Amino acid sequence: MSLHNWRAREWKPAIRAAGIDPTRRIYDLRHTYATMSLAAGVSLFSLARRMGTSVDMIDRTYGHLAPDAEDYERALLDAYDAKTEAFGHGTGAERGE
């Protein structure tokens, strides 16, 4: 398979049909995917695994796009606490121990 032929026959017609700027490179999709994934709430760890890179690289490159990361993490922990309390599996700290 020739990458040049693929770009001319498949890539360029597809991005034109989608209404995307025809100067976009295939590699640009990687950045779009990362940006949209973080906006959707995908964790840095999951995104790094999916993209085949390190969490550190994802954090350095895209970390600024997750401004609500602390709120999201807090909500996850609060939901976990509520679930464990409902089943009587609270921690000693929750019981004042």
Structure tokens at 96: 């004042």
Tokens 């001319």 correspond to: 8
C-alpha to C-alpha distances, 1 to 4, 28, 29, 57, nearest whole angstrom: 9, 21, 20, 31
Structure tokens at 91: 């921690």
Structure tokens at 30: 């990687």
pLDDT in tens, the chain (97 residues): 788 899 899 999 999 999 988 888 888 889 889 989 988 888 889 999 999 999 999 888 887 777 666 777 788 889 989 888 877 765 555 555 4
Report the pLDDT value the prediction gives residue 16, as an integer from 0 to 100.
92
